[in-house]
Amino acid sequence: MSQGHGHGHDEHAPIRHDGHSSPLARRARALEALLTEKGVLTPADIRSAIDALVSRTPADGAKLVARAWVDPAFKARLLADPKAAAAELGIDLTSYARLGVVENTDKVHHVVVCTLCSCYPRMLLGPPPAWYKSLNYRARTVADPRGVMREFGLELPPKVEVRVLDSTADMRYLVLPRRPPGTEHVSEAELRSLVTRDSMIGVSNPQPERAHV
């Protein structure tokens, strides 16, 4: 996988979704059937909620990142209180799990995984890619995060500390990637287009080849 592929990394060979239904997925289907049977929810209610989640894209996450790149005061608020900072940009996260925003620097690089299932900030990044949910990614990111990132085209210097963050049902993470060099005169709107889903997970960096725009 190379950084220039934008959001589309699902074709990557070693990190693949194994295709098996997880225990949590089976439990969710059973709970859905029970709630429908008891009349608590209708199939239409469930479909509407699913459609709302599926329709989300990484655009809101990119909006937060780009604003943080151009506004140091906003970045400080985003790191301290992500939900309040998101509300400033019209992004309502009040009904979602806790959100932590972590900043990548020239000394520390964060990468996110969910070792138990596929917890992920869907409200900011849209549905998780198949590779993120795979047992392969979940196991290997903990054991060899540099090797996984290398497969996405990201080779970090040995001096950079790599921190693996494990998402849970109660806590999700968004990586604030480093701003690409040479973008000092790029507008905030143009910066958004450089922010990829994968860079907000931490397996790659933002797209540098468009930094001259």
Which amino acids are annotated catalytic?
114, 117-119
Distance CA(84)–CA(86), nearest Å, equals: 5
The C-alpha atoms of residue 39 and residue 81 are separated, in whole angstroms, by: 38
Among residues 85, 91, 77, the alpha carbon closest in space to that of 122 is found at 91
**Among 116, 143, 118, residue whose Cα is nearest residue 132:** 118
Between the alpha carbon of residue 38 and those of residues 28, 32, 67, the distances in Å are 15, 10, 45
Q: How far apart are CA 78 and CA 60, in angstroms?
A: 13
Q: Long-range contact list for 76-85, CB < 8 A, 24+ apart?
A: 78/176, 79/103, 79/176, 82/174
Residues facing residue 108 across a β-bridge: 161
